[in-house]
Amino acid sequence: MRVLVIVSLLLSLSACTQVKPWERGYLANPNMAWQPMPQKSALDNHIYFSKEASSGGGQAAGGGCGCN
């Protein structure tokens, strides 16, 4: 049953608009990246991990530090 639900969900996603490869110019714009500045994002995550109680989201946690 779980398999059917997951497969149905994936099939429903294919119903979004079909974008041909030659139409992906806007999506390929570097400003559309999940993280247009990866070093900035990495440091921001590190700072917020050190100064707030929450962490994570977007990928597995990786290593830690004694930051306080």
Planar angle of CA 34, 21, 39, nearest 5 degrees: 20
Query: Is 19 one of the binding residues for another protein (CB under 8 A)?
Result: yes
- The two three-digit tokens of residue 6, written as one number: 């997951």
Query: Is 34 one of the binding residues for another protein (CB under 8 A)?
Result: yes
Query: Is 8 one of the binding residues for another protein (CB under 8 A)?
Result: no
19 and 27 in contact (C-beta within 8 Å)? yes
Query: Is 43 one of the binding residues for another protein (CB under 8 A)?
Result: yes
Question: Which residues of this protein are in contact with another protein, per CB under 8 A?
Answer: 2-3, 6-7, 10-11, 13-14, 16-19, 23-44, 47-48, 51-66, 68
